[in-house]
Each structure stands twice: as structure tokens, then as C-alpha cells.
A and B are shown apart, each in its own frame.
Chain A
Amino acid sequence: MPRYGMVIDLNKCNQCGACVTACKLENNVQIVSKENADMGRAMYWMKMLDINYEGSYPEIRPTNIPMLCQQCDEPSCTKVCPVRATYKRDDGIVAQIYPQCIGCRYCMANCPYTAKVFNWLKDEQPVENEKCYNTDVSVRPKGIVEKCTFCIHRLQKAKENAKSEHRKLEEDDYIPACAEVCPSNAIYFGDLDDPKSQVAKLVHDYRKFTLQEELGTKPKVYYLSAKSE
């Protein structure tokens, strides 16, 4: 059984935001109005974490990072869900069962990465995007929590394709939208337990770190520091 994980090389990432756009469109994440955005209801499964800076002007550089559900091996969100609407699959992906969610938001409160978002509104995209729904992804009803799923629908599709071609799933068959579109190839994705996979090699890079390691959540999203020395 694979254990899916992601590595984001901050030395390559130039914060262009393509991953954010791709995630939003791939997963039919709702585009909200100004009024709702002002109330903190803007929904991003992947976002550029608020900008921080290293150094002082003029020798200064931004250090913002693409932030998504960290797909923890010890997820704190699953432990508090009273209805088991969020759970960790055998392949390591922390998934959501939308119809089961009662919208209590305990999982949101318990996620140290603030990676989950709540659907305050009935799904309603701007007119321009109504035809651009990804038909592989269900839209979420009002009142439930959602988050990055590593584009789990792509895994399902890739498995079906591989099965129809009578072969095993290969590494490149399944890749989330953010990793697919990244112009600087900064996002790597694959099976962390497959020693031949690129992610398995990169998690041993000396630049690697995970967010809030001290909490023991064991994230499967790794970052490679921008520092090259």
C-alpha cells in the first residue's frame, strides 16, 4: 500500500500562485463574494501563507510558503470528529466524507495548520465559472467542512485507467493539480514508502522540514528550505 506525500521545494517556488488557482478550479472550491470574503469566508484549500520576510530593507527576501492540508500521519482533526466524517485512509490520505459531516467544526479548531475551511454558503459559483465545474469532484453543501484531499478523485480515475489497461498504477499516473501545473516544478508528489520515488529521496534532503514538527502530527507534506547553503 503506498503512502502518499508531497515535497515542496521553496528554493524553486516563486510564489506565482498557479497552485492556488489550480486547486481552486480542480476541486470546485467556491469563489465567494466580497461581503463573504470580508467576513473571513474566503475558501482556499491551498494558499500562499501570509508573507514573512527575512533580513531588513533593502537586503530582504520574502519567505511565504504554499500551505495546504499537511496530510498528517497522526492527524489531530480525525481524533475529534464526533461522526467520523474525517479519517485517514490506508494510503495515508486524510479524507472527508461530506454527507457525514455535521458542521461542528471541531476538526477545524483542532487543526494546527488551519488547513480546513467551512462552507458558509450554498455552493454558487460566479456565472462565468458555472460551466467550468470539474465533473469529477462533488460540490459540497452548505454547513460542512472541507479541505485538500491530494486530489483524491484523480487517484480513483488513475486506478480505473490502470485497471482498464491491465497494469499496475505507476508513479506518474496520479498527481494532484497543484503539482501538475507548477511552472517551476517545485511540487513533487508520490509514494513516500517507495524508495525509487522522487519524494522518498527528497525527504532525506538536508533542507527538509515539516511544519510544527514538535506537535507530533507527522505531516506528509515536506518543505525544502530556500537556503541553498
Chain B
Amino acid sequence: MEINRREFMKLIGGSFAGLAIGGAAGTLMKIPKSMEPVLYTGPRKESWKLTACANCPGGCSLKVRLIDEFPIQAFGNPLSPVNKGGICSIGLASVASLYHPDRLTGPLKNVDGKFVSITYDEAYKILSDKLGKILSKNNQDNIFIIAQTESQLKASIFKKFSDETGIKNLVLDEFHSNSIYPYSLISDKAPDFIDFEKCDYLLNFGSRMTEISDNPLYFTRKIIEHRAKGYKIGVVQPKLNSSVAKTDDWVPLLPISFADFALGIAYILIKDEKYDKNFVGKYFPEFNEYKQFVLDNYYPEKVEELIGVPADKILSIGRDFEKASAPAAYFDESLLYSTNGTKNAMAIIALNALKGFSGYGTLKDDLLKLESEKNPNSKEDVTFARFKERVADNGSIQALLISGSNIVFNSPNQEELKKQISSIPFVASFSSFIDETSVLANLIIPDHDNFERLDLLPGESMGFPTITVQQPIVTPFFNTTDTSDVFISLMKDLKPDVKLTYQNYSDYLKQIAKQLYTNHTGILMDQRKPTAIENGLKKIGWDSSQFSGFDDFWDGFLEAGGWWNPYAAKESFNPKIEFKQKFSKELFTSGNATTSVSKNKLRMNIFRKNFDYKGNMSIYPVLVEQFGSNWTVFYELWAEINPETAQKLSVNDRSKVLLRTTSGNFPAILIYNPSIIPGNLDIPFGLGHTNFGNNCGYNPLAYSDDLFDRKSGKPSFSETIIEIVSVEKQGESSPLAFNNSTDKTKVGNQDRRTYA
């Protein structure tokens, strides 16, 4: 008889007869012992607190409802200019992570394959000694730090640490930095925002603007407004997702071909001589070479031949783009998930240059002076591609520090990566959970939950600066430590001569906030948008702030949940574009295009839904259940196929199929979807964890070919060939044959756990 965890806990709970329901809950939920009396006998007093959601790059402000001292629900803060009271599914579900039974309650040390609890001091000493030893031998280059964070300030601490200790191998996975990374290759600066006041045509290349992006809720509102003004939106995407649903033109295209499409659009503008001659003359010194290259190679019929998009479609979108006075061809981090990622981005940047980046804007002044920016040498970008190279070279990495990133789950070829990470002599993780990556660590110093942490989340994507405060809604339940504080302590211990103006991360955040206070700009998020008269008075120096000092400002700042500056000065975005390479097809295409596939083979297009950001969905039960509910598929992987393709392969709608790639076999439910690109099999990313939260379903990325964008190191989500190897016969109650032939060893599914 199999007993799952819940039943097991019930059996244990059953022995304590007479326990109240609340008491039984207490044995299951992760809350500290000291809080149990409040849970059982508290006065049930309601209160509300503000914080920020850090589950995606958006930085929405949350209004959290507490009963006694326990957060129970999260809503959007109506006074925040970022989300204006709206909130997405992830934000709504976010409270559950605080009580997750798998949360780590304190530091752990891996002893002979088993994690044992240790004190923070012990854990810190192990970490500090290990790094100290490597640094004393001047082996800085043998240490890697991989950090995923959506806080630019936390990122700046990692950068500062990297600068001070000389550990240059810092792989920073932050959405905004990733999004502007391609600009750093060919341009001297990146735009801050799409100027929706001017922009009259938006061409979106692969961004899930309204789902997971720099600011999904703002983009959701702006796209509605943009359409209401009668302006068009075109989207180039491999899937008809919710970011595409309400747009005028959808070009179904795999990311591998985005650059060809962008160059095809550029051809129309150049041929019609509708480009900004003034801008290209001033800021695009290689324009004539680029022009000749485009005219020679990317006429519409040629592009149709290359990527299958009808020449008429290219012409009509090209004409829409050229007619617009301020068009914006937009991309973000999502574009990088292809072997052609950064090359696509370069073609799109060049397309924007043809219209003088007129749909974009930039803020005149930097919002904040961050710690890392004081060091001019901190500009070097190390991407995941470099880590891939080095980790494959067995023995060349002596220590790996991982914060906030579940790189194993988010990578193809997972078994190999696991082996490679396991072979690193010292791996320290700062994860709040055991996940597919932290399970490989020698040491885990768990970070706080999002509702226990203080941080500031700046944003500029709305055309004015905002800072949303992420603040502790509860005092940390367990013996967890803010990872930024660990790195600040390490900095002080490993480099005693380092001069820091702050003692801990909270101090640092206060210093940052002081810049806002001393600049006397902007307003707190508890106020309505100022009127034109107030705006005018502000410009001539009138200041209505009533704060008696910085402490007063800080208190108000926390109470309001943020700050914004509707008065910020903007300017047009005029970057200098320099490729410094001969224009050739190789500059824009990687040559891995899989536009045609042989009989019975399909292209696997892994898509993300708006419930999951980089593999974090599985700890939120409501999201896992809802994930496939549109198709009435629950806790299982599904694969969407165009009915015409399916009929050619003689597979029925909703049949259970076994899929095969070169990396193994996995089952899925086949769903007919007429919007899928013929020849594609679209499979969602987010399920299939083996060590983190709900382990239902399969992770298609684990069965993907190990293909990466060479520059950014992001894995390709759409270039693996897949085939349907068998279909469950109707009437069979159990797909036994599937279980036998499913290659579970590939993803280590031995310990699969679902809710019972």
C-alpha cells in the first residue's frame, strides 16, 4: 500500500486525538512554534500591509491582507502607478510560498549525500573559509556566481562583491539586464521605455508583454489604450498567446527566423526610402554597408523563400512600420531563448535605427546611483554561455555560488549539467527550498521568503521612474538570512580593506532612499497623480513635501509602499549603432534553422504561460491546478498541434501520446489547436519538477537538444525535433505501455509527488 505524505501526516496527527482543526493544520503548515498560539487563539484581527511582488520583473505593489499576524491574501495596490490595483495570477497566489511545507528552516550542510542542519555561524564559516582559501591562491577565476534576481539593488550588491573580491565570473540573470544586453553589443546605450505618447505602431518580436515582461500590467493597460487610439500592433511570435490575442497582425514564426523577418521589413523601408536619413547619417556610421546588404539579400520574395512568411504580409507590415511616425520594434529577454537570440536582437535594433528609435524614449537623469556603478571596471558581462564552457571543462571551477536561480530546471541536457555541477568541489546555494539545483549543493544558506524581505524594486519602463518597496509583512518565520547580507558580510571578511558605507543590506537600501529624499523629486505612492498646476509649480521649485527629516520620509515611504516621479524629464533616444563587423548573413543568422522537417517529425516549440516565471510555479498549488484548465487538462503535460498536422499523422484530439526526442521519451495529452504553426508541437514549460513543489507532469526542456544562444547563453526553446512514437489505444484504462517506455531516468523522476 502506498502512503503519500499527506496521509502519513494525517496518521501521525490522528494519534493526537482531540486536536482542534487549527492544531492539525499547525502540524502540517510551516510556521514557527512561537506563532502557533496566535494561530489557534488569536483575536482574528484584520490588517492590511503593502509590499511588492518579486515573482517576476514587473515589480507590482501588493496589498496584503493579514488575519492576526498571518498574511492570507494578496491583491493589487490601487494607488501604485505600476499595477493600479490589478494583479496577475502569480501575485495572487504568492502568499502560499510563505507556508510551504518544503521551505527550508535553516542552513543545511550536505554530509555524505544527506542534508543536516547546522547553525548560521557554522554555515557562514564554511563558506567564508572555502572562498578565502581559493582567493588566497589568486584563483578568483575558478569561482562562479550565478544569481537570478529581479532587484537591481540586490544585483548591484552581487556586482560590488564581484568587483571587490576580483571574482569576475558573475552570471547575473536579471530580466531587465538580459533584455538590454544585446544593445551592449552594438550600441552605446539602451532605451528606457516605449514612448506610448508618441508611438503609433508597435511591432513586438517575441515579447510576452502582457504576461511576463518588464512591466506586464502596465503593458496590458497601454496596449488597450494604444488600440483604442486606432494604432496598430503587430506581433511576431511562434504561438498565439494572450500577448498576441488582441493584436492586429500576428506573424506565426519560430524565433530562429526573427532576424530574417526584421531584415525583410528593413528592406521595405530602405527600398521605399522611408527611413530617417538624418538619424542614420548621424548615428549609424555603417548604414551604407547595411543598406547594400539588406537590398541584396532580403527582398520580400527572398524572405518568403527563407522563412515561409508570405511576401505580401512582409510588405504590409513593412508599410505599416514605415508609415508610422514613431514606430517601435520591441523585444525583451524572451527573444534570447533561441540559438539566434542576440543576432535577432541586433537585426531588430538596426530596424529601429531606420526610424530613428522614434517610438522609444529615455529618462534624462539616472534614477539612482547604485553601488556597483561607482566602479568603471564592473561593466564586463559574463553570461551563462561562459559558465557552460567552463563547467564542461572538468575541474576548472573550484566553487560555485547560486542565488535565486534553478539553473538545472531551466536548462536542457539536465543530467549532464547535474553531473558537471556535482563535480565542482564546493557548491553553495542560497535557495529557500530544495530544488533541482540546490539539491546538488554542499551548503545551503536559505534566503527569506518574499514576504519576509526588505528590498526596493526600481523601474523605468513607464517613462517615469518608480520604486516599489518590498517589505517584511511578517518577521522571518525561520532561521533564514537575506542573501545580500551574506554577501556584504563576505565582502567585509574576505577583503578587510574594503570601504563600505553600510553595515548591511537594509542600511544600503536606506542610503539609496536617501537619494530620493535629498533630491526632493517625486511623490510617494499614496498620492494621486498631480494636476498640471501642481506639476508646473513643482517645476519652478515649489515642494509640498512635509517630511521633518529622512527618518520621517523613510517611514512614509514604507507606509506608502513606494515612490514615483511623474515629473521626470524625458528625452528622445539617440544611440550610436556600430556593428564593427562586415555585414553578412552569418552576422544575423546562426544557420541552425529548422524550418523544414522530414515526414513524421515535428518541431518542439516550448512555450511559457503567465503562471510560471523561470520554473517557480510548482510551489503554488492554485496555479498548478489552473495551469492546463483552459484545456481541461490537470496536473499533466499537454502538447498542442494543428489539427491538419495531426490528421496527417493520424492522431486524435485528446489522445495520450508518447513523444520522443534525442534525449528520451515522455508522455503528453495531445490537444488540437488550429492556431498552432503546422509542423509544430507546442508544449508548455513549468511542470516536471523532480525536487521542488508539486512534481506532476514533465519538463519538456529536459528533453530538448542542448542548443544555446552563444552570446547570452540562453537555451533554445524551439529547435528540437520531436516525434510521436505511440498513441494510447482508446478504451485502455491504464497507459501501461507508456509507463514502461517513458525514460524517467533522464529527469530523475524517481520521487514524484502529487497532491493526494
Contact = CB atoms under 8 A, between A and B. Distances in A.
User: Are chains A and B native binding partners rather than an unrelated pairing?
Assistant: yes
Interface centre among A125, A130, A177, by most chain B C-beta atoms within 10 angstroms, is: A130
B674 A183 contact: no
A57 B674 contact: yes
Interface stretch (A17-25, A92-100, A209-217): A17-25
A172 to B, nearest CB: 10
Interface in B653-688: 673-676, 678
A127 B621 CA distance: 9
A110 B46 CA distance: 39
Given A128-B621, A180-B85, A15 B242 contact: yes
A216 B727 CA distance: 45
Contacts of B678: 57
A33 B245 contact: no
Contact of A127 (B28, B626, B635): B28
Contact of B754 (A34, A130, A177): A34
A25 B674 contact: no
Contact of A129 (B85, B252, B622, B673): B622
Interface stretch (B71-79, B345-353, B356-364, B594-602): B71-79
B611 A132 contact: no
B245 A128 contact: no
B25 A130 contact: yes
Nearest to B697: A34
A156 interface: no
Interface centre among A22, A48, A129, A131, by most chain B C-beta atoms within 10 angstroms, is: A131
B170 interface: no
B468 to A, nearest CB: 16
B419 interface: no
A34 B636 contact: yes
Interface centre among A12, A15, A48, A132, by most chain B C-beta atoms within 10 angstroms, is: A132
Contact of B6 (A34, A61, A127, A226): A127
Contact of B75 (A38, A57, A133, A181): A181
A57 B677 CA distance: 8
B246 A16 contact: no
Contacts of B73: 25-26, 132, 134
Contacts of B211: 16
A218 interface: no
Contacts of A135: 44, 46, 67, 72
B610 A181 contact: no
A184 B86 contact: yes
Interface in B27-45: 28-29, 31, 39, 44
Interface size class of chain B, counting residues whose CB lies under 8 Å from the partner chain = 35 or more
B428 interface: no
A50 B632 CA distance: 8
A31 B620 CA distance: 11
Interface in B222-263: 224, 227, 240, 242-243, 245-246, 250-252
Interface centre among A51, A127, A181, A183, by most chain B C-beta atoms within 10 angstroms, is: A183
A58 B220 CA distance: 23
B515 interface: no
A164 interface: no
A42 B99 contact: no
B210 interface: yes
A217 to B, nearest CB: 25
A16 B213 CA distance: 14
B88 A18 contact: yes
Contacts, number: 180
Nearest to B4: A33
B93 interface: yes
Interface in A118-143: 125-135
Contacts of A132: 72-73, 95-96, 99
B634 interface: yes
A47 B96 CA distance: 21
Nearest to A44: B629
A103 B688 CA distance: 37
B31 A131 contact: yes
A21 B252 CA distance: 29
Contact of A131 (B72, B88, B619, B620): B72
A217 B754 CA distance: 41
Contact of B216 (A51, A53, A183): A183
A14 B29 contact: no
A22 B76 CA distance: 11
A128 B100 contact: yes
A33 B755 contact: yes
B205 interface: no
A47 to B, nearest CB: 7
A128 B620 contact: yes
Given A34-B755, A131-B31, A181 B246 contact: no
Contacts of A24: 622, 626
B221 interface: yes
A14 B99 contact: no
B92 A185 contact: no
Given A21-B89, A34-B696, A48 B75 contact: no
Contacts of A21: 89, 92-93, 622-623, 626
Contacts of B31: 131
B220 A130 contact: no
Interface in B698-756: 754-756
A18 B89 contact: yes
Contacts of B25: 130-131
B99 A127 contact: yes
Contact of B220 (A14, A26, A34, A126): A14
A18 B94 CA distance: 13
Nearest to A58: B252
Contact of A16 (B242, B251, B696): B242
A124 to B, nearest CB: 8
A88 to B, nearest CB: 29
A25 B73 CA distance: 8
A184 B95 CA distance: 22
Given A51-B630, A129-B96, A180-B75, A60 B674 contact: yes
A127 B100 CA distance: 7
Contacts of B692: none
A183 B622 CA distance: 18
A17 B674 contact: no
Contacts of A2: none
B82 to A, nearest CB: 11
Interface centre among B46, B217, B220, B754, by most chain A C-beta atoms within 10 angstroms, is: B220
Interface centre among B85, B92, B220, by most chain A C-beta atoms within 10 angstroms, is: B92
A171 to B, nearest CB: 15
A33 B674 contact: no
Contact of A25 (B70, B101, B210, B622): B622
A19 B80 CA distance: 19
B629 A20 contact: yes
Given A18-B88, A128-B101, A60 B675 contact: yes
A226 B101 CA distance: 43
Contact of B221 (A17, A25, A185): A185
Contacts of B75: 177, 180-181
A31 B696 CA distance: 15
Nearest to B10: A124
A34 B694 CA distance: 11
Interface of A: 11-12, 14-18, 20-22, 24-26, 31-35, 37-38, 42, 44, 47-48, 50-51, 53, 56-58, 60-62, 64, 125-135, 177, 180-185, 226, 228
20 contacts: A16-B211, A17-B611, A17-B630, A33-B635, A33-B756, A34-B634, A37-B634, A42-B629, A50-B632, A51-B631, A51-B673, A57-B642, A60-B674, A62-B675, A126-B621, A128-B101, A128-B619, A129-B621, A183-B88, A183-B210
Nearest 8 A/B pairs, CB to CB: A37-B634, A183-B86, A34-B635, A126-B621, A21-B89, A128-B96, A14-B242, A131-B99
Given A17-B626, A21-B93, A42-B629, 18 more contacts: A21-B89, A24-B626, A25-B73, A31-B621, A38-B634, A60-B240, A127-B29, A127-B100, A127-B101, A128-B96, A128-B97, A128-B100, A129-B96, A129-B99, A131-B29, A135-B67, A181-B75, A228-B227
